[in-house]
């Protein structure tokens, strides 16, 4: 099994002397580098151990984050090896970014919005925020497994009857919700096949 290491990309060294950390390993002879989303002083990074030197609270917190990410990678590699299943880069990334790590569908939406917002206009993003806030108010504890055609049909009816939304407004809201349902599926299929949901007449 490939060795999983933590490295520092010193090519991205800042003026302050900090550089980002990455989890790196080989999968199918291809080198993968996963960002840890933390940067540390190059002078304090233990390249051999893959950890930040010192006993400060900051060092302990960063080392915990890195160790958890490294363990996450190892868990996926071991799971597929024990099952004797093929593991490609695409499958690995879906496992690594597993939406089931989120307690609710709305937690996933909040995280996905951070990156998706960069690709859309501000006016569109504000509509998404309003739409998903309304969807969250309908059921704050919504689980991935509950995202069924019947559930979305009920929500469509709720918008029109209880909230007084017009047909056009309600359908526009459903189109927005579809974007995040689709994103959750492609990150890793945590729900029934997407065609069963997006093929529903309300979407």
What are the pLDDT digits (tens) for 22-37?
999 999 889 999 999 8
Q: Which residues sit opposite 19 in a β-bridge?
A: 40
31 or 75, higher pLDDT:
31
Asked if 16 contacts 29 with a C-beta cutoff of 8 angstroms, the reply is no
CB-CB contact of 186 with 108 (8 Å): no
Q: pLDDT: is 196 or 27 the higher one?
A: 27
pLDDT-derived band at 83 (thresholds 50, 70, 90) equals confident
Q: 153-187 pLDDT, tens per residue? A: 999 999 999 999 999 999 999 999 998 888 776 65
Percent of the chain's residues with pLDDT above 90: 41
* Average pLDDT of the chain to the nearest whole number: 85
User: What is the model's pTM?
Assistant: 0.50
pLDDT for position 186? 61
Closest C-alpha among 94, 91, 108 to residue 147? 108
23: its two tokens: 């989890």
DSSP notation for 8-45? E-GGG--TTSEEEEEEEEEETTEEEEEEEEEEEEGGGE
Could you tell me the CA-to-CA distances from 137 to 61, 83, 96, 113 in Å, in that order?
34, 40, 29, 17
Work out the pLDDT band at 99, boundaries 50, 70, 90: low
Average pLDDT of the residues in 101-124: 85
**pLDDT mean over 107-136:** 90
Sign of CA dihedral 26, 32, 34, 39: positive
Distances (CA, A) of 157 to 15, 47, 75, 138, 167: 56, 58, 43, 12, 10
């Amino acid at each position: 099994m490939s060795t999983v290491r933590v490295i520092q990309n010193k090519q991205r060294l800042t003026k302050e002397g900090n550089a980002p950390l990455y989890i790196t390993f080989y999968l199918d002879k291809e080198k993968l580098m996963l960002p840890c989303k933390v940067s540390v002083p190059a002078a304090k990074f233990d390249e051999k151990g893959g950890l930040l030197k010192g006993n400060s609270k900051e060092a302990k917190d960063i080392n915990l984050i890195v160790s958890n990410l490294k363990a996450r990678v190892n868990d996926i590699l071991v799971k597929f090896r024990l099952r004797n299943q093929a593991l490609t880069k695409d499958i690995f990334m879906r496992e690594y970014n597993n939406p089931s790590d989120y307690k609710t569908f709305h937690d996933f939406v909040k995280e996905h919005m951070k990156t998706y917002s960069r690709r859309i206009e501000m006016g569109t993003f504000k509509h998404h925020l309003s739409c998903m806030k309304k969807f969250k108010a309908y059921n704050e504890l919504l689980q991935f497994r509950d995202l069924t055609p019947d559930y979305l049909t009920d929500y469509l009816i709720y918008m029109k009857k209880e909230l007084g939304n017009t047909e056009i407004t309600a359908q526009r809201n459903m189109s927005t919700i579809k974007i995040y349902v689709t994103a959750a599926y492609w990150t890793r299929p945590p729900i029934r096949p997407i065609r069963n949901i997006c093929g529903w007449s309300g979407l």
